[in-house]
Amino acid sequence: MSKKKIESNYKKKIDLLTSYNKNYYDVSKPLVSDKEYDDLKNSILALENKYSYLRSEESPSKIVGFKPSKNFHKVTHRAQMLSLANAFEREDLMNFEKKILNFLSKDKDFKLSYSAEPKIDGISASLIYKNGNFKTGLSRGDGKEGEDITANLMTIKEIPKKIEFKDFPEEIDIRGEVFIQNSDFKNLKDKFANPRNAASGSLRQKNPEDTKKIPLKFIAYTFGYEKGLKAKNQTDFLKNLNSWGFKINPLNKLITGIDNLLINYSRIEMDRAKIDFDIDGIVYKINDFELQKRLGNVANSPRWAIAHKFASNKAISKILNIEIQIGRTGALTPVAKIKPINIGGVIVSNATLHNEDEIDRKNVRIGDLATIERAGDVIPHIISVDITKRDKKSQKFIFPKKCPSCGSKTIKEFNNTTKKEDAVRRCSSEGYDCEKIAIEKLKHFVSKEAFNIEGFGKKIVENFWNLNLIKLPQDIFNLDFKKIENLEGWGKQSMENLKYSINQRKNISLERLIYSLGIRHIGLENAKILSKYFKSFSNFINFSNEVNLDDILNIDGIGETQLLSVKNFFNNKINLNILKELQKNLEVKDSSIKNKNGLLNEKTFMITGKLNGISRAEVKSLIEENSGSSVSTVSKKLNYLIIGDKPTKKKVNKAKKLKITILNQSQFLKMLNITS
């Protein structure tokens, strides 16, 4: 075939692929089957391989930025897929247990039993079973919404497709980890960096036939939504899983008390290398489901479970420089640039020094030899420096008194709770006025728990910022895609992917939107509280007209610090403009009050005095679960005052004066049909 003919053949294929992509991404109507699409793509790649002169911006080999994971449809999880808080030391475990005992109002001698499950480092998946049939399989995604990867999960032998046991629930989401055994990974070493990447890559194959070739395994460990599950605790549930045909981790154990958890931890850590799958710690779960239910969740993780990560790796290297990074909230974080060193298989060249005080406390100087520690996925940090090896000419590190990005004064705030000066020094400018803060704010805006714009990673934010494509959040929704398509490293396909991701997120909940704004002290939980209070985006935008400051302070969870921070946000003209522009570009869903018909619908409660056998935190979450709300002051807006032992007299008297119903603990519990 002549060169010309080869080129025209190639061009035809590229045009065809472009039209397939366009239909898929723009109008969500695939023109061909996945197989046909893949065959075409592979034939283009093969041609390029054979004839190196073939080039096209639209080539699938040019796709940069991110993989077209939107080949998979997004599905909302019936129950959120939570993540776990981390523990590293005995002290973290003690705190974890203490918090649980406090919440449950148990005394410190109360013995808690845990299901201790070695934490497999793979990819989690949720398998939806209806009447014993495996119907749909989802990836974790952002925890709320996953990708439909059913076809790929179907190829895994260890996933039962039909379960005929009588005690198998009518409906259940079985959750667990997809992974590759180390012995199987040996043959895949050339293709993937580690077993986890191999599992992730295989699960995201467009063609299930490709997934089938990889020896993926599945271990089950928890459930999401369920109807008809009889187990009363985690150990029984694990036994059930096994009897239904799921593989479970053979190293799971039921353990009572922190000391025994630590013994088990050391044993497993010692044997870690002998196990044929990668584990990065041990998950501890309160065994009793009743207690788990009482404990509930905070933001994205359960109160009843924690991941005890394995000890880190340490190494010694030289501090070449100390750089100052500026975070989203203006915090100045010193980062030690160290001579690159391999710590447990990862090349480390940065280590955090946390804040100004830490540099002083650890007496760290540029040029010092430092011990650096790396634990799991946490940023490496400096443990100590060797002063005996210090160069005589070395000098104390002077922390900048002006922001290295915008030149504003840096300040240490006074912390009203601790009555001390903060350890963190901050840039005093107003958010978007400081370049570095603005970039970090934008990174936060697009991040997973915020707008979750797939493929819009940190590097892209920086790149677009430098190219003046985005300066403020609203710019994301008015991008010049023609310009992006022509940027180096971009092409039609990757541009279309990005456009698709952004368009998908134009419809957003008020809660997420508030969180995305990155208002200081307004994390996920507070964003949720505020969204419930404001109910709609237009109420929120009109904050200064809408809000009665006493009202907002009366919401439990919002204190002076949070209110001041929100007020500051609304005092800033740039922020007001951002909100106005976002309103033009977005469809913000009103916050729907969950479970509107709860037993305490729209009633307000306040607690005073010590309760018996139940903590305030638990009473508050019971109130919320039943559509009531708890407030922090006695006013006309209060419906019920719950009194325990030694209530504050002033509060009781005020409530009596205002004719507010006063309840004792058991009267309150009776309202919820709970007998104490």
Catalytic residues: 119
Q: Which stretch binds ligand IVH (CB under 6 A): 31-39, 66-74, 115-123, 431-439?
A: 115-123
Instruction: Give the amino acid at 270.
Output: M
Query: How far apart, in whole angstroms, are the C-alpha atoms of residue 468 and residue 465?
Result: 5
Decide: 148 and 74 in contact? Cβ < 8 Å. Answer: yes
CB of 251 to ligand IVH, least distance (A): 10
Beta carbon nearer to ligand IVH, 222 or 575: 222
Instruction: Give residues with Cβ within 8 angstroms of 527, minimum separation 6.
Output: 511, 512, 514, 515
Q: Yes or no: say if 478 and 585 are a contact pair by the CB < 8 Å rule.
A: yes
Stretch that binds ligand IVH, among 70-78, 209-217, 300-308, 506-514 (CB under 6 A): 300-308
- Closer of 140 and 528 to ligand IVH (Cβ): 140
359 binds ligand IVH (CB under 6 A): no
| 83 vs 312 by CB, closer to ligand IVH | 83
Nearer CB in complex with ligand IVH: 173/475: 173
Residue 82 binds ligand IVH, judged by CB under 6 A: yes
Is residue 222 a contact residue for ligand IVH (CB under 6 A)? Answer: yes
**C-beta closer to ligand IVH: residue 139 or 405:** 139
Are 221 and 248 in contact by the 8 Å Cβ rule? The answer is yes
CB atoms within 10 A of CB 300: 17
Binders in 488-527 for ligand IVH, by CB under 6 A: none
Interface with ligand IVH in residues 608-667 (CB under 6 A): none
Q: By C-alpha distance, which of 297, 286, 289 is closest to 618? A: 297
> Residue 134 in contact with residue 152, Cβ under 8 Å?
no
* Contacting range for ligand IVH; rule: CB under 6 A; set: 118-126, 463-471, 539-547, 563-571: 118-126
Reduced to 3 states, what is the DSSP secondary structure of residue 282? strand
Q: How far is the CB of 302 from ligand IVH (least distance, A)?
A: 5
The Cα 63–Cα 628 span in angstroms is 50
Give the tokens for residue 639.
């419906």
- Nearest distance, CB of residue 142 and ligand IVH, angstroms: 12
**Residues 302, 330, 334, 518: which binds ligand IVH (CB under 6 A)?**
302
One of 221, 244, 537, 569 touching ligand IVH (CB under 6 A): 221
Among 13, 119, 441, 443, binds ligand IVH (CB under 6 A): 119
Closer to ligand IVH by CB, 124 or 317: give it: 124
Give the span between the Cα atoms of 588 and 499, in whole angstroms: 19
Stretch that binds ligand IVH, among 82-90, 95-103, 129-137, 453-461 (CB under 6 A): 82-90
Is residue 72 a contact point for ligand IVH (CB under 6 A)? no
Q: Is 653 left (phi over 0), alpha (psi -120 to 50) or beta?
A: alpha
3-state secondary structure of 235: helix
Q: What is the nearest approach in angstroms of ligand IVH to the Cβ of residue 118? A: 7
Among 14, 75, 120, 643, the residue binding ligand IVH under the rule CB under 6 A is 120
**Least Å distance between CB 246 and ligand IVH?**
12
The one segment of 76-84, 94-102, 413-421, 430-438 that binds ligand IVH by CB under 6 A: 76-84
Q: Does 117 bind ligand IVH (CB under 6 A)?
A: yes
Q: How far is the CB of 495 from ligand IVH (least distance, A)?
A: 32
- Binding positions for ligand IVH, 161-180, rule CB under 6 A: 177
| Contacts with ligand IVH, 392-411, as mask; x by CB under 6 A | --------------------
Closest-CA residue to 117 (of 297, 268, 3, 225): 268
Of 239 and 412, which has the nearer Cβ to ligand IVH? 239
Residue closer to ligand IVH (CB basis): 297 or 632? 297
Size of the site for ligand IVH (CB under 6 A): 15
Amino acid code (one letter) for 224: G
Instruction: Find the shortest distance in angstroms from Cβ 51 to ligand IVH.
Output: 44
Cβ 175 to ligand IVH shortest distance, Å: 7
CA distance 431 to 620: 34
CA pair distance 455, 494, nearest whole angstrom? 9
- Closer Cβ to ligand IVH, 285 or 374, answer by number: 285
Among 56, 59, 124, 516, binds ligand IVH (CB under 6 A): 124
| Exposure string over 406-431, b if 16+ CB within 10 A, otherwise e | bebebbeeeeeeeeeebebbbbebbb
Q: 621, 629 in Cβ contact below 8 A?
A: no
Distance CA 182, CA 386 (A): 38
The SS3 of residue 416 is coil
Nearer to ligand IVH, 82 or 599 (CB): 82
Residues 279-298 close enough to bind ligand IVH by CB under 6 A: 283
Pair 173, 224: CB distance under 8 Å: yes
Q: Which is nearer to ligand IVH, 48 or 142 (CB)?
A: 142
Three-class SS of residue 425? strand
Give Cα separations from 69 to 77, 101, 146, 454 (angstroms). Answer: 18, 43, 11, 9
* C-alpha atoms less than 13 angstroms from C-alpha of 566 in its C-beta half-sphere: 25
According to CB under 6 A, which one of 54, 75, 84, 588 is a site residue for ligand IVH? 84
Spatial separation of the C-alpha atoms in residues 676 and 674, rounded to whole Å: 6
Distance CA 305, CA 234 (A): 12
Report the C-alpha gap between 110 and 120 in whole angstroms: 30
Contacts of 193 (CB under 8 A, 6+ apart): none
As a whole number of angstroms, the distance between CA 189 and CA 166 comes to 43
CA 473 from centroid of its chain's CA atoms: 21
Tell me whether residue 96 or residue 221 sits nearer to ligand IVH (CB atom).
Answer: 221
Q: Of 225-233, 258-266, 302-310, 316-324, which segment contacts ligand IVH by CB under 6 A?
A: 302-310
Residue whose pair of structure tokens reads 């975070």 in the numeric block: 327
CB of 176 to ligand IVH, least distance (A): 8
Q: Which of 203, 305, 437, 566 forms a contact with ligand IVH (CB under 6 A)? A: 305
What minimum distance in Å lies between the beta carbon of 403 and ligand IVH? 35
Q: How far is the CB of 158 from ligand IVH (least distance, A)?
A: 15
Q: Closest approach of Cβ 559 to ligand IVH, in Å?
A: 29
Q: What angle do CA 584, 589, 594 make, to 5 degrees?
A: 160
Residues near ligand IVH (CB under 6 A) are 82-84, 117, 119-120, 124, 140, 177, 221-222, 283, 302, 305, 307
